[in-house]
C-alpha cells in the first residue's frame, strides 16, 4: 500500500457513479449526489443500470468506458470489486460510500457522503494505493483482481489436486476444495475466512491459502516479485473466480494458471484512520449486520 500526498493529486472534472440498484437507499443517495455534482458544473457518468433507475439515461456510460477523474461507489465491497475489475486502466481514485454489510474497503457512511465528495473536490484527502493480481491462462490475460484469484474444482464437492509453482520451481502439492491467491487487500477477505493471515498493507506480498485442505497445508506468503503458478493434476478441469465476480473455466488442454503482481493498482480516497483502524472496527469485532 502507498499513501500519496495531497500535492501529488490532481483535482477532478468528471465523476463516475456506480451504485447498488437493489437498495433504495443507494438509489436515493445517488440521485442526491448527481444533483449536487451537476450544481458544481461537473461532468457525470452513470453505470447504465443506475442511469435507468434514476432517470438519467443521457449520462449512461458502461464501466469499461468510464474514463472519469474520480469514481464514487455506493454499496459494499462487492460494488467496489466489480468496479475495479471493469474500469479502464490505469484506474482513477475511488471514493467508496458504504451501503453494504461490512464495507471494509469503503471510507464513509451515507450521512457523510456529500461532505466527503466536497472534501475530494477541495483536495482534502490522501490516496491509499493497493496492488492488484494479474492472471494468465495459456498466455491469455484475465481481468486483474484487487482481492483474490480463487481456483476450485469444476465439479461441486470434488477435491482439487494441484501443484504449486514459484518462479518455475515446484514447491508444494495440495488436495483441497480450492486455492485462493490473495493480495494485501484480499487477505482480509476469503483468504482470512480460510485460515490465511492478514497481510500488513506495507508488506509487498501476496498469500496462497488452501480452502479446506485434506491434509495439513498452511498458507504460503510469497514476495510480490514472485510468479506463482497453479497446475491442475486431478481433475484437470476447474473454475477460476476473480474477486467473486469474473469466472472462467480451466480445461485439460490448459491446466495451469499463472499469477503475479500487476503493473496496475487500485487507489482509494482516505480522510482519516488507517488500515488497522478499519480492521479492528469492521472485521475483528462482531457488530450488527444486515443482508
SS3 243: coil
Q: Catalytic pick from 22, 69, 77, 243?
A: 77
The DSSP bridge partners found for residue 204 are: none
Cα–Cα nearest to 16, from 110, 123, 117: 117
**Range name among 106-110, 120-124, 236-240 with the lowest pLDDT average:** 106-110
**pLDDT at res. 1:** 52
| Cell numbers that stand for 66 in this block | 468510464
Return the CATH number of the domain spanning residue range 132-263.
Answer: 2.60.200.30
Q: Per-residue pLDDT averaged across 184-199, rounded?
A: 94
Query: Which runs of consecutive H residues, i.e. helices, occur in 122-195?
Result: 190-193
**pLDDT at res. 8:** 41
Give 55-66 pLDDT, tens digit per residue.
Answer: 999 999 999 999
- Judge contact between 46 and 34, C-beta under 8 A: yes
| Cell numbers that stand for 73 in this block | 461507489
Model pTM?
A: 0.89
> How far is the C-alpha of 38 from the C-alpha of 28, rounded, in Å?
16
The CATH superfamily of 2-125+271-284 is Probable inorganic polyphosphate/atp-NAD kinase; domain 1 (3.40.50.10330)
Distances from the Cα of 56 to the Cαs of 12, 59, 61, 65, 110, in angstroms?
21, 6, 11, 17, 21
> How far is the C-alpha of 38 from the C-alpha of 9, rounded, in Å?
22
Within the chain, all domains assigned CATH 2.60.200.30 are found at: 132-263
- Judge contact between 174 and 164, C-beta under 8 A: yes
Catalytic-residue membership of 77: yes
**pLDDT at res. 7:** 43
Within the chain, all domains assigned CATH 3.40.50.10330 are found at: 2-125+271-284
Mean pLDDT for the chain? 90
**Range name among 85-94, 191-200, 273-282 with the lowest pLDDT average:** 273-282
Amino acid at each position: 500500500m502507498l499513501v500519496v500526498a495531497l500535492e501529488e493529486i490532481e483535482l477532478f472534472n468528471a465523476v463516475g457513479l456506480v451504485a447498488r440498484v437493489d437498495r433504495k437507499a443507494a438509489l436515493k443517495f445517488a440521485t442526491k449526489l448527481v444533483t449536487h455534482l451537476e450544481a458544481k458544473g461537473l461532468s457525470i457518468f452513470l453505470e447504465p443500470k443506475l442511469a435507468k433507475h434514476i432517470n438519467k439515461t443521457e449520462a449512461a456510460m458502461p464501466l469499461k468506458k468510464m474514463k472519469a477523474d474520480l469514481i464514487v461507489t455506493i454499496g459494499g465491497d462487492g460494488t467496489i470489486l466489480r468496479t475495479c475489475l471493469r474500469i479502464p486502466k490505469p484506474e482513477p481514485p475511488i471514493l467508496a460510500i458504504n451501503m453494504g454489510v461490512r464495507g471494509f474497503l469503503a471510507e464513509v457512511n451515507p450521512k457523510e457522503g456529500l461532505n466527503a465528495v466536497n472534501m475530494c473536490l477541495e483536495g482534502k484527502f490522501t490516496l491509499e494505493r493497493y496492488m492488484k493480481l494479474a492472471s494468465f491462462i495459456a498466455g491469455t490475460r484475465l481481468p486483474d483482481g484487487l482481492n483474490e484469484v480463487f481456483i476450485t474444482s469444476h465439479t461441486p464437492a470434488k477435491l482439487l489436486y494441484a501443484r504449486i509453482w514459484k518462479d518455475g520451481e515446484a514447491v508444494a502439492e495440495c488436495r483441497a476444495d480450492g486455492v485462493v491467491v490473495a493480495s494485501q487487500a484480499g487477505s482480509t477477505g476469503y483468504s482470512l475466512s480460510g485460515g490465511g493471515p492478514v497481510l500488513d498493507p506495507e508488506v509487498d506480498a501476496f498469500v496462497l491459502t488452501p480452502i479446506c485442505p485434506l491434509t495439513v497445508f498452511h498458507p504460503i506468503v510469497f514476495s510480490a516479485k514472485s510468479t506463482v503458478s497453479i497446475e491442475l493434476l486431478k481433475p484437470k478441469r476447474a473454475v477460476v473466480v476473480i474477486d467473486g465476480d469474473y469466472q472462467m473455466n480451466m480445461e485439460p488442454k490448459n491446466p495451469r494458471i499463472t499469477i503475479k503482481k500487476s503493473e496496475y493498482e487500485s487507489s482509494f480516497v482516505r480522510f482519516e484512520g488507517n488500515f488497522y483502524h478499519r480492521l479492528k472496527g469492521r472485521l475483528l469485532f462482531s457488530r450488527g449486520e444486515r443482508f
